[in-house]
Structure 1
């Protein structure tokens, strides 16, 4: 497919079309809002902003919009000439101003509803921040309405890119009572609360809402010390970042407009509501998901679960759970959100390459679409059920298999470079166990093991990992390095068994745990010999582990090979229902 947006020479996006979102206007028209970038040194792009609005970055940022050219496949887009927002507010010490995210919000005076826009930013010498705008039209008339929230240090970055905000639904019952098990993996996508689903295609976006449906960047400041902050694996939230002012916000849908929020006075933390009312509201305080991508794609995406102040349109960082890593791996950045026609909250992320720049001619790929919801105060991520529709051929299965210490137990007869593997591991007397992915040639990085460590409650990808004990239970506080590259982090294990689903697509690996965590990474194994097995083995360290069950399938492509731009159907229809309300690139709006 052709690119939806390309830089326009001499335009506000002459040197880059940066991140944004897609929304459906009230008349049913999809609109892409994005940040256009032009270099200060580009003489063809017109004058610089006035001094009071000039951030003095190497580039100038402008918020732009595009609409489809009457194409039902949304293949061809036309840019609007007038900017949505031409420049940032005057006289603010901002380090950036980009990545608009749109949602619907209740009017300031409680009358009607209007659009809200989050904008990624940061304050010089202080830390990341998220700005908020309001307007009755997506195309203009936006009013700056202050900060959604802001950090008081740079530990979570100097610039918060790609801000996301969403109220999540809760799993209705306890995990044991509500979880369905398919191939040994806990699946709870059928157990959480669903928003009402509109019947038939809505005539307009407004009708869909009434029915309850849902139709490397530079920063000026020094980035936060992420090695110090995230270099060690510890089984708890990583840091505490307090906002300068208490408050909160979010996707202010009909779903949350009736929600009473415990407000705080000027950051003091003292409640202004009766104690009984606070107690009744306490279980719902951590229902809002705030996500940011800090500074640059080399850093982990972070999120908080917290509350929002509806009156002041602020997300409450004080008391929120986090910041936590959205993904325990090293390739996910700049995710986006959508609410589909079933009311499901779905996240997509950019999975980067980790090879030498110039050795490939594309910019990574998208992750598998992930369902997001809550189990208590924990974020649960899992693949959408439609991903299972990609499975083809007979299922490879094994049960009750003992994995001896320091020995490889191959998944014999399993072939393919794109696989969907579900496994349930019993610890036995092992300290760690998992799957070893064999490397085939010198052009690749080599082998890597996806290992769960029961001693530390850690999920890791360990590169060039031998079958012998390679220190999987190494003390994370030890000063000496074992020389192995490790990617991973802590998980909240709730039983001795580990439920793991691994989606392998050539070098791209996404590992989903039954406890809700995800690890995405790259394993550059090289090309397998002709007629070779998949090159995957079970491994165990520190004792004997047991594979209670394992199932694996070859996975077919999502792409229709014969797809042409004039076709009337979506290329994603083989795994995902056609999207009539929002684009896969995301942006939730109020139901």
Structure 2
């Protein structure tokens, strides 16, 4: 039995039945997952909550807050469901996205959007001035953790919303996803932003302040100042969902590298800070998949507003097609970490699960640009010593196999040098295609195109296993965008977890997508090759590892549900 089959057997039937199910990304054992919610580091443990629908792999109104915890940001344990809809209340139809924070006594508190449907009997409808005319009615609510509960399992919902209705007569099109941007400590007020949009004008964020986390919130107007530039061909959206706003130290690339080499703490190298605002434009024009990418700006906070005209951006947070609704937090080491929802690209409902979270990403600013890298702790998942190659020549039309790395979950780092080629990269072959005339991709390649200045994942319908040639001219789909390319060489780290593929560049860009490869036959080729187009390329500093699972067998079992009390 191969190593990956042994791992599947340990994890359970759900992994045995689906060879494309990730095992080093956080996800429920079964059911639907979308937005990450309320990530927090508390008393030596990482906690991540997420939108979860139990018993179906398709989205439904009745979202709960799933919950997983980790002592090391690597190995995770399923916890009981933290929040569930309560019939007859403000969240009767869903406990939607939000954040978590510590109150003035350092007690954990969840802030979330409560949803009820207007056609359902129960609470009265909003007055016309604050009625957005939507199918659902959104309110901002809170739940408080029991003070002696170090595992964040027992939550008590507040009986009344913190903010019951949106501000009147503003022409808004949505009112959800609260995010705390300032804690009410050291004489400062609490501040939060809420995702919204103005009819006919586009996305915005609403600013609220209070002297008390659980009461007295007052609307202060739009958090956004100015009119944003467009983002290439991408629409800025009718409204902005799932905002996050963080302050990061600014360093040059040289300072970052030098300081990390010295002590691993990039914050000490910074002489200034800037703020990063990230939003998820809505609506979705395709079911279960956003048309628009997540957007971010880098700038400064001034008089409690963020001027998008003066800021750098908008920039695409990720160059792929599945990442949405990111959420960020600061851990016990002062690092800013981000997780996001990775969507499926295959038909919903065909399997017993849908969706996973991204790998935890470390955020920094280098040269005024947002820089993302996988959390260094993930190296703990590497099995064995891996494969290390100093140099590999890749000729045009003849793929060079990555030897001795087997299985569906790998971590590969390398440096691509252009040589005489126009494009080069790493290929992931698939084992799904049975029909020679099928239009389904047989391989996907993560490719750097020097002429275009881009990183793309190219899906081809032609892969000749015998000739080891990739069908550059039979492309069915391209996903990607521009990256910084210096001196004709690019550093890449490609992290493949069954269907989930996350690619990180040395200059901080990322590309996330799905590649459904199917079940690798025992004794077959490893399925990973380096390729080049219009000439030869060299690949140097190759380090490749097979990756293990983040789960123990016991944690694969469904968590028992916990119905939060009402205050």
Q: Classify the TM-score, shorter chain.
A: 0.7 to 0.9
Residue number in structure 2 paired with 1:262: none
Structure 1 contact 451–459 (Cα < 8 Å) conserved = yes
- Distance, in Å, in 2 between the alignment partners of 1:302 and 1:191 is 27
- State the shift of 1:436 in Å: 0.8
Alignment of 1:100-499 (within 5 A): 100-104=178-182, 112-149=187-224, 152=227, 155-171=235-251, 174=254, 178=258, 190=264, 192-194=266-268, 287-295=274-282, 296=284, 297-298=289-290, 299-309=292-302, 312-442=303-433, 446-464=442-460, 466=462, 483-499=475-491
- Note the alpha carbon deviations across 1:418-470, whole angstroms, 9 max, x for none: 11111111111111111110110239853211111111110001112646575
- State the shift of 1:483 in Å: 5.0
- Distance, in Å, in 2 between the alignment partners of 1:84 and 1:445 is 50
SS of the residue aligned with 1:484? strand
Structure 1 contact 194–344 (Cα < 8 Å) conserved = no
- Distance, in Å, in 2 between the alignment partners of 1:465 and 1:428 is 27
- State the shift of 1:193 in Å: 1.6
Structure 1 contact 166–290 (Cα < 8 Å) conserved = yes
SS of the residue aligned with 1:96? coil
- Distance, in Å, in 2 between the alignment partners of 1:174 and 1:58 is 52
Residue number in structure 2 paired with 1:222: none
- Distance, in Å, in 2 between the alignment partners of 1:433 and 1:370 is 26
Residue number in structure 2 paired with 1:92: 170
- Distance, in Å, in 2 between the alignment partners of 1:455 and 1:558 is 39
1:6–1:188 distance in 2 versus 1, CA, 3 Å = farther
SS of the residue aligned with 2:378? helix
- State the shift of 1:72 in Å: 2.2
SS of the residue aligned with 1:373? strand
Structure 1 contact 34–100 (Cα < 8 Å) conserved = yes
1:539–1:103 distance in 2 versus 1, CA, 3 Å = same
- Distance, in Å, in 2 between the alignment partners of 1:400 and 1:456 is 25
Residue number in structure 1 paired with 2:145: 68
1:56 aligns with 2:133: yes
- State the shift of 1:549 in Å: 2.2
Structure 2 contact 460–470 (Cα < 8 Å) conserved = no
Residue number in structure 2 paired with 1:527: 519
SS of the residue aligned with 2:404? coil
Gaps of 5+ in 2: 1-77, 435-439, 464-468, 560-567
Q: When the two structures are aligned, how many residues end up with a matched partner?
A: 459
- Distance, in Å, in 2 between the alignment partners of 1:531 and 1:79 is 54
Structure 1 contact 127–150 (Cα < 8 Å) conserved = no
Residue number in structure 2 paired with 1:227: none
SS of the residue aligned with 1:156? coil
SS of the residue aligned with 2:508? coil
1:564–1:324 distance in 2 versus 1, CA, 3 Å = closer
- State the shift of 1:65 in Å: 1.3
Structure 1 contact 119–163 (Cα < 8 Å) conserved = yes
Q: Which has more strand, going by share of residues?
A: 2
Residue number in structure 2 paired with 1:267: none
- Note the alpha carbon deviations across 1:17-57, whole angstroms, 9 max, x for none: 221111111212111111111111122x3211111111111
- State the shift of 1:361 in Å: 3.0
- Distance, in Å, in 2 between the alignment partners of 1:26 and 1:330 is 40
SS of the residue aligned with 2:476? coil
- State the shift of 1:372 in Å: 0.8
SS of the residue aligned with 1:66? strand
Residue number in structure 2 paired with 1:205: none
SS of the residue aligned with 2:279? strand
Residue number in structure 2 paired with 1:241: none
- State the shift of 1:530 in Å: 2.4
SS of the residue aligned with 2:126? coil
Structure 2 contact 493–503 (Cα < 8 Å) conserved = yes
- Distance, in Å, in 1 between the alignment partners of 2:486 and 2:410 is 27
- Distance, in Å, in 1 between the alignment partners of 2:324 and 2:504 is 17
- State the shift of 1:351 in Å: 0.8
- Distance, in Å, in 2 between the alignment partners of 1:562 and 1:336 is 28
- State the shift of 1:12 in Å: 1.5
1:329–1:61 distance in 2 versus 1, CA, 3 Å = same
- Distance, in Å, in 2 between the alignment partners of 1:400 and 1:35 is 53
1:167–1:91 distance in 2 versus 1, CA, 3 Å = same
1:188–1:78 distance in 2 versus 1, CA, 3 Å = farther
SS of the residue aligned with 1:174? helix
Alignment of 1:538-553 (within 5 A): 538-553=530-545
Structure 2 contact 407–520 (Cα < 8 Å) conserved = no
1:96–1:470 distance in 2 versus 1, CA, 3 Å = same
- State the shift of 1:68 in Å: 2.9
- State the shift of 1:321 in Å: 1.1
Relative to the length of structure 1, the TM-score reads 0.73
- State the shift of 1:104 in Å: 1.6
Gaps of 5+ in 1: 181-186, 196-254, 256-282, 473-481, 568-591
User: CA-atom RMSD, angstroms?
Assistant: 2.7
